């Protein structure tokens, strides 16, 4: 089992990783960051709104029984991958990836492994 700091260090080993954060979408706070701290703290707070909106949309559409695996935001030079943690309700992993240097499928696979090993 890995703690927050170890898990974020592991996230930064993903090819093309620019930053990583572990956030709490009930409070909007980042529990830990690796990379540009100010950018990631703001991103964690904004991600809270995205996650809440998506979960509310699933509920309103009658799909509240579905589990949200991740959300992908594609920018011209970056991917932002948001993964709500099922083992730790209310928490999410946020990955900021260089679009030209990362493999999205591998990043998703790696994020699942980080979640499985994370102990909060």
- Give the per-residue pLDDT at 82: 96
Indicate whether 2 pLDDT > 70.
yes
| pLDDT at residue 96, as a whole number | 96
Q: Summarize pLDDT for 102-111 with one digit per residue, the tens.
A: 999 999 999 9
pLDDT, one tens digit per residue, over 20-73 is: 999 999 898 899 999 987 888 888 888 889 998 998 898 888 886 788 899 999
- What is residue 91's three-state secondary structure? strand
Contact 24, 51 (CB under 8 A): no
Please tell me the pTM assigned to this model.
0.92
């Amino acid at each position: 089992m890995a703690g927050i700091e170890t898990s974020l260090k592991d996230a930064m080993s993903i090819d093309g990783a620019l930053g990583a954060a572990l956030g709490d979408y009930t409070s909007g706070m980042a529990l830990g960051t690796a990379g540009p701290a100010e950018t990631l703290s703001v991103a964690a707070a904004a991600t809270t709104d995205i996650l809440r909106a998506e979960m509310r949309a699933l509920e309103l559409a009658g799909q509240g029984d579905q589990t949200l695996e991740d959300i992908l935001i594609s920018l011209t030079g970056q991917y932002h991958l948001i993964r709500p943690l099922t083992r730790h309700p209310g928490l999410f992993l946020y990955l900021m990836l260089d679009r030209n240097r990362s493999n999205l499928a591998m990043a998703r696979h790696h994020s699942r492994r980080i979640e499985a090993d994370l102990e909060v």
